[in-house]
Structure 1
Amino acid sequence: MKIEAQSKKLIKPSTPTLSHHRKLNLSCIDELQHPGYAGFLFYYQADGENHEDDILQRLRLLEESLSETLVIFYPLAGRYVEEGLFIDCNDQGVEFVHARVNGQLDDLLRGDVDADLLGRLSEFPLGLAGNPLVVIQVNVFECGGLVISLRSCHKLGDMSTMATFINSWATVCRTGTNELTSPYFELSSLFPVKGSEVTRWPPLRGGVKFAMNRFVFSSMALSRLKLAAAKHAQVSRVEVVCALLCKVFVAMDRAKHGRLRPLVVCQSMNLRGKVNLPIPTNAFGNFYTMVVGRHTMDQDDLSLEAFVKAIHDTLAITKARYAAVADGKSCMNMVRDSTRESKEWAQSEEENVVTFSSWCGFPFYDIDFGWGKPDLVSNTCMPVRMVFLIDSKSEGGIDAWINLSQEEKPLFEQDLDIVTLTNLHGSYVCRSKH
């Protein structure tokens, strides 16, 4: 399939940002983040006849509602000032790209498609003034189906922030601004930047091609997994999926190295609602931590239950620690330490490191711009080894989007647990430009 950009513009707030809102200081947690972009894609099949006029009408509605939404989410239209560690809320705008795809969306949803298409649905370069903090690309297929890609600079906010934004944008597009409430913009007052933190992120593995694969765990498969971990009655769906995938990664690593290496699991955890601090769930910015656990697995017990226990216990201990936090400084120090630890492990050559990011619980399949809910939601391609978990469209299931090197991909797909418990839906190449 061929993708061609039709237009590229900056969408600005429909009314100017007030002067006393022109500067948004970053928090210490924001400053710890990688300066790159991350995001997700929403896939909408055509609903009957879709003529050119209908597509133009939808594009107009998307642009107008985005402009209205940016009045409330005004930092998104600003620019990052690295020297001062703040967002200049100058209304320069969000980049909005309209692209045409000469193909059918059904082919993409079936996975029967050119391998690197998924990456190209969100990869048009930032080509307008001053590096926009948010880039939106609306891909229009010949059938009238749409794929809406949203990427944002991680220093601006985490996935909770962006989920709140896109849900608000869809609401405005569908019903107007009446239902919107302003986000909480005060995280920097609780977690001020000290200015002494030097954040160096490990470089991406240059020249390595990663394939992003979608493995679907049905609700029935998850019930079977929970039964296999019966001693841990309170284990969550996310925990059993993480445990199973770690079991597979350990088997692959053991076959490659001829020995059982320590397993390091890094998992992101949203801190909203998990600390004893006056922080609402709609807090704007980065408010999450990395949960890091190093496990020396017993070579005589590599059962699913053993991995479930390792994952569950680490998360339970971390949740208890954060629940006991009652002041911003302690919370900030804990997040800083965990971020530093996860970065150090990411560079290790002696451990088997697996990184997870779970978006389960975010209402992504409720994102309705006025033409129905999405048929699929995915993350954007990233040229790193990582696992992203998203609720499936079918109730109770989980989609695991896993970035694997081309060397690992066939080994992973052939694992007996993966073959037995999942459905594989497509493979897409994530290309590193480093």
Structure 2
Amino acid sequence: MDYRVYHHLLFKCARIEHSRVEGMEMELIYKEIMKPGSETPPHLKTYPLSFLDVTVPPQYMPLVYFYDPKQIENQESKIALLKKSLPEALSAYYPIAGRIKGRLAVGCNDEGVPLLITKLKCHLSHFLNNPITPKLLPLFPDNLAWSDMNNPEHDPIMAIQINCFQCGGIAIAICVSHKLGDISTLVNFVNHWAAVTTHHQDQKKPLPSSPLLDAGVSLFPQGNLPIYREKPYFALPKSVCKRFVFEASKIEALKAMAGPIHHPTRFQAVAALICKCAVSALGLNPNSPLLSSITVNLRKRIDPAVPSNTIGNMVSFFIISSFQRDQLPELVSKMKEGMIRSEMQFKKYGGKHKDLDFIVEALKRESDAPPPEAMKFPLIGLSSWCRFSMYDADFGWGKPIWIASITNFKNGVVFMDARDGKGMEVIVNMEEQHMTRFECNQELLQYASLDPSVQL
């Protein structure tokens, strides 16, 4: 390893620990570029991107998985297993080890994925007792969480950092470029890596099935479609990111109150409350709507449906408007009606209902989206990462005790399953003045806890 790179990374870690997280000492002890275990065959060296991939901004999506020290007998041996199994996982997901090639493809040159290993001079329990966003940032490799790929043809598509706590606990943080896939792609990779690691420890455990790498581009080929510019990512560097936890019982009470007629899903009930509180926090007048963009997974909505282990970006969205006068049942109704109106449009992206004219118009509209400051009405982005089997990532020493992420999207909201699969964690990012009002909303706090500790 180049000493100058090593020194730069050590300095960067030290700068983060002292300026952002007082008392959390971190030392980078290892870095290696991990390559696939087998060379990518010549006929697979170019991986074409779909028309949905092409317009996605090249930012790094972050996830961090925490594992209980009580389940880890020997930290060093577990790290060795992770290093041994990673090349095999990268062979199955070979585009991840490549580099972006122009606008339309990934060059599968097996250049590899950076793997960093750090040591933290604190116990995992101390960390989880106050799991605020500033503490999470140093856990991600090279501060990549939601940052841009500065040079997509040179920068890695994925980076991994394994953080070792003094008590024996481990936190595995992964950042993957949104250009290659959505949150489903990232979760599938982690679950695949976990299954391979488990197989190395117990040969009776089956190896995971191979991902469907070409299904996305087969369904959504760029072909002769116009090459539109990448959709802008409305980052808000000077913002506040907070985590709100909804227990299962609170969600059930919210569902009963929000939709006695409409029978909302967990997401719809919680999202309706978030929208209602956001309207208040943003200080909108009675006649000014808040536009809510709701992201939708296309895999289940294409006809025929796409298997869940298909990699690539397979999402679209629909928009509803919220007013100060809207109550929770009205907001749930708007979400349900918006989904029903959009179902047929989602089918037009691929499968037997594919409509090229619709696709061209949809891509053009998304590409031409103005920046937030130029929009007539404020926008909040709602993205559900629920039901993606995140907590299935058992590397052979138990399932994660907590999975976390962050967002810096302006008025961005991410919904994640709690560990029990019934509760929900909601990550909200806003300007400080707006967050000050949002986090004190009594209706919100009736159902959610703000940044509670994570119980081991």
Q: TM-score, normalised by structure 2?
A: 0.84
Match of 1:12?
35
Match of 2:267?
238
Pick from 202, 206, 210 the counterpart of residue 182 of structure 1.
Answer: 210
Are 1:30 and 2:60 counterparts? no
Deviates more, 1:98-107 or 1:343-352: 343-352
Give distance in 2, aligned partners of 1:359 and 1:296.
22
Pick from 389, 412, 431 the counterpart of residue 386 of structure 1.
Answer: 412
Match of 2:9?
none
- Structure 1 portions without partners, runs of 5+: 428-434
CA displacement at 1:338 relative to structure 2: 6.1
Match of 1:432?
none
Aligned residues: 415
Match of 1:362?
388
SS of residue in 1 equivalent to 2:242: strand
Deviates more, 1:312-321 or 1:216-225: 312-321
Structure 2 matches for 1:10-409, cutoff 5 A? 10-47=33-70, 54-82=74-102, 85-111=104-130, 116-124=134-142, 130-176=154-200, 178-186=206-214, 187-193=216-222, 194=224, 196-202=226-232, 204=234, 208-254=237-283, 257-277=284-304, 279-293=306-320, 295=321, 297=323, 299=324, 301-323=325-347, 326-330=352-356, 332-333=359-360, 336=363, 339-340=366-367, 343-344=369-370, 346-382=372-408, 384-409=410-435
Give distance in 2, aligned partners of 1:63 and 1:380.
26
Q: What amino acid does structure 2 have at the position aligned with 1:243?
A: A
Task: Write the deviation string for residues 115-156 of structure 1: whole angstroms up to 9, x where unpaired.
Answer: 622111114157999311001111111111111111111111
Percent of pairs with identical residues: 27
Give distance in 2, aligned partners of 1:267 and 1:118.
26
TM-aligned CA distance change 1:140 to 1:278, over 3 Å: same
Q: Is the 8 A contact 1:217 1:399 kept in 2?
A: yes
CA displacement at 1:161 relative to structure 2: 1.2
CA displacement at 1:278 relative to structure 2: 6.4
Deviates more, 1:324-333 or 1:229-238: 324-333
TM-aligned CA distance change 1:406 to 1:296, over 3 Å: closer
Q: Is the 8 A contact 2:316 2:346 kept in 1?
A: no
Q: Is the 8 A contact 1:242 1:311 kept in 2?
A: no
Q: Please, what is the CA RMSD of the aligned residues?
A: 2.6
CA displacement at 1:340 relative to structure 2: 3.7
Q: Is the 8 A contact 2:28 2:117 kept in 1?
A: yes
Give distance in 2, aligned partners of 1:283 and 1:217.
30
TM-aligned CA distance change 1:338 to 1:142, over 3 Å: farther
Higher relative contact order (CA 8 A, sep 6+): 1
Q: What amino acid does structure 2 have at the position aligned with 1:121?
A: L
CA displacement at 1:327 relative to structure 2: 4.0
Give distance in 1, aligned partners of 2:86 and 2:71.
25
SS of residue in 2 equivalent to 1:408: helix
Q: What amino acid does structure 2 have at the position aligned with 1:26?
A: L
SS of residue in 2 equivalent to 1:222: helix
Give distance in 2, aligned partners of 1:375 and 1:203.
31
Give distance in 2, aligned partners of 1:262 and 1:181.
46
Task: Write the deviation string for residues 145-194 of structure 1: whole angstroms up to 9, x where unpaired.
Answer: 11111111111111111111111100111124943222222222332224
Give distance in 2, aligned partners of 1:345 and 1:261.
18
SS of residue in 2 equivalent to 1:240: helix
Give distance in 2, aligned partners of 1:120 and 1:219.
31
Deviates more, 1:376-385 or 1:413-422: 376-385
Give distance in 2, aligned partners of 1:4 and 1:383.
29
TM-aligned CA distance change 1:147 to 1:72, over 3 Å: same
Q: Is the 8 A contact 2:243 2:450 kept in 1?
A: yes
CA displacement at 1:352 relative to structure 2: 2.4
Task: Write the deviation string for residues 260-289 of structure 1: whole angstroms up to 9, x where unpaired.
Answer: 421211121111121114633322211111
CA displacement at 1:403 relative to structure 2: 1.5
Give distance in 2, aligned partners of 1:278 and 1:259.
41
Give distance in 1, aligned partners of 2:125 and 2:361.
46
Q: Is the 8 A contact 2:141 2:173 kept in 1?
A: no
Q: Is the 8 A contact 1:215 1:423 kept in 2?
A: yes
Deviates more, 1:321-330 or 1:284-293: 321-330
SS of residue in 1 equivalent to 2:43: helix
CA displacement at 1:350 relative to structure 2: 2.9
Give distance in 1, aligned partners of 2:198 and 2:231.
40
Task: Write the deviation string for residues 282-307 of structure 1: whole angstroms up to 9, x where unpaired.
Answer: 222111112223x263x5x4211111
Give distance in 2, aligned partners of 1:333 and 1:345.
21
CA displacement at 1:259 relative to structure 2: 4.8
Deviates more, 1:241-250 or 1:315-324: 315-324
TM-aligned CA distance change 1:246 to 1:204, over 3 Å: closer
Task: Write the deviation string for residues 64-99 of structure 1: whole angstroms up to 9, x where unpaired.
Answer: 11111111111111111115x211111111111111
Deviates more, 1:332-341 or 1:267-276: 332-341
TM-aligned CA distance change 1:2 to 1:278, over 3 Å: same
Q: Is the 8 A contact 1:97 1:136 kept in 2?
A: yes
Q: Is the 8 A contact 1:210 1:383 kept in 2?
A: no
Q: What amino acid does structure 2 have at the position aligned with 1:124?
A: D
Q: What amino acid does structure 2 have at the position aligned with 1:283?
A: T
